[in-house]
Amino acid sequence: MTILMAPNTTREDALAFAEAMTRRLTAAGHEAYLYEHPHDPRLEATQLAIVAGGDGTVLRTVRALCRYSFPYWAVNFGHLGYLTDCEPSEADAALPGVLAGAYPVERRAMLCGEMVGLKGQERFHGLNEIVIHRGASVRPLHLSVAVDGTDIMRFAGDGLLVSTPTGSTAYNLSAGGPILMPESSQLVLAPVCAHSALCAPLVVSGQHDIRISLEEDAADGDGNLPSLDVDGCHRMILHPGDYVECRLAPWTAGLVRTSEMGFYRRLQLKLARRDQ
């Protein structure tokens, strides 16, 4: 079995875990290797990725390798661990079942799209969300949102979130958006600090295309411009006249789940940890 180890290299404990796991798996007859770059030829034959890190490490790894179909088993070396499966102390007991394919794999929807403007087009994809935000500008953003060509929302505010079911428990939850079941195929549109009490979050079917447009020059007197952020990992600057199109991606990300604990119970425990 070919196994990718993807640790958070900024954490000594996560890196040590990944290196020890690589040696252990190699001694057991598997081909295990540490992640170096998204064009490694060994990725084509990889059957499992073991992520050692927190939610950010999972997001970065999935974004970089989303064109591959292997599942991800994430061991938590972060804080909250919404996306991780187990703690390091539980990994040894779970490993044989993970290697045997004995545990279910949650298929998580991803989103993709492009930022289109006078300076060209830039594609993006993510597992959690995209955030259109006014950034350092002191001026509110004036945004209009269309679904399949029909205008559905127009408001001024700090920005807009478009979240997947996975991302619905992240920034979207803090912004007052609804929680979606992790394996559903919908997107949430959640305005951030909208200057209208009537501008509520909206759940959109994954079959639809979403377009978000800047209605006027969003730069302030100091030249600060808004941004489009993807999973907190990738940022694009938005200029007057730019617009963003997004939709559910045609691929999904698979997360191995070794616990019999249901989604809602798992969410309760993570939220309790966040509030500590």
| Under 8 Å between Cβ of 35 and 6 | yes
**Nearest CA to 238 among 230, 222, 226, 221?**
226
CA 21 → CA 63, 94, 100, 114, 273, distances in Å?
23, 13, 16, 38, 27
Q: Is 275 a catalytic residue?
A: no
Q: Which of 40, 55, 85, 229 is catalytic?
A: 55
Category of 220 on φ-ψ map: left (φ > 0), alpha (ψ -120 to 50) or beta: beta
CA 108 → CA 149, 181, 199, distances in Å?
27, 10, 28
Token pair of 116, please? Answer: 């289109």
Category of 152 on φ-ψ map: left (φ > 0), alpha (ψ -120 to 50) or beta: alpha
- How far is the C-alpha of 8 from the C-alpha of 79, rounded, in Å? 13
Active site residues: 55
